[in-house]
């Protein structure tokens, strides 16, 4: 039976991204791997853990659909503490951290990949995922105010000019 590498994957808003999925598929194509996806909570309290749980569910569904052997968990809101809580050198061989690009990533602002590499002693692969698109607006545009014959005077009173 060949050796199976155990990889700790740390991601949050990028957990279900195409870039991370591609990196994990490529990694699994080189050697047999088992992945553990750690999604730090998006904030303190119950709402932060529920948001992370929802992100974890989406990501696990995509990863299982790609035939990856993966399990998942939600961790502390601080990603450094979340990794510290689960890190065990007897359990994991490698670490992959997925972030948003520089400027949009809070994790890069605190130098998460290098900090994790320093305290774990293993090389960290960093995957940069595209910034997620904001959801499309679905509500109709507001109706303009109509002033009738007084429309030209609306500009004088500071009101918006009606069409």
pLDDT at 151: 67
Q: Token pair for residue 150?
A: 């007084």
- Residue by residue, pLDDT tens for the chain (163 residues) are 567 899 999 999 999 999 999 999 999 999 899 999 999 998 878 999 999 999 999 999 999 999 999 999 999 999 999 999 999 999 999 999 999 998 888 899 999 999 999 999 998 999 999 865 555 566 776 776 666 676 667 667 665 544 4
| Beta-bridge mates of residue 34 | 6
Q: What is the DSSP string of 97-152?
A: EEEPPTTT-HHHHTTHHHHHHHHH-S-EEEEEPPPPPPPPP-SPPPPPP--GGGGG
**Which sequence spans correspond to the domains of the chain?**
5-134
| pTM for the predicted model, two decimal places | 0.77
CB 72 within 8 A of CB 34: no
> How many Cα atoms within 13 Å fall on the side-chain side of residue 78?
7
Tell which CATH classification among 2.40.170.20, 3.30.1330.60, 3.40.50.620, 1.50.10.20 matches the domain 5-134: 3.40.50.620
């Amino acid at each position: 039976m060949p050796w199976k590498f155990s990889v700790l994957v740390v991601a949050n808003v990028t957990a279900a991204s195409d870039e991370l999925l591609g990196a994990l598929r490529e990694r699994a194509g080189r050697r047999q791997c088992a992945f553990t996806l750690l999604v730090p909570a998006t904030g303190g309290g119950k709402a932060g853990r529920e948001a992370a749980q929802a992100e974890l569910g989406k990501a696990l569904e995509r990863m299982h659909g790609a035939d990856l052997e993966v399990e998942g968990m939600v961790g502390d809101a601080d990603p450094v503490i979340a990794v510290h809580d689960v890190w065990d050198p007897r359990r994991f061989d490698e670490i992959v951290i997925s972030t948003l690009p520089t400027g949009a990533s809070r994790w890069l602002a605190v130098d998460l990949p290098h900090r994790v590499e320093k305290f774990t002693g293993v090389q960290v692969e960093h995957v940069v995922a595209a910034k997620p698109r904001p959801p499309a607006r679905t509500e109709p545009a507001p109706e303009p105010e109509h002033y009738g014959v007084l429309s030209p005077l609306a500009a004088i009173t500071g009101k918006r000019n009606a069409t």
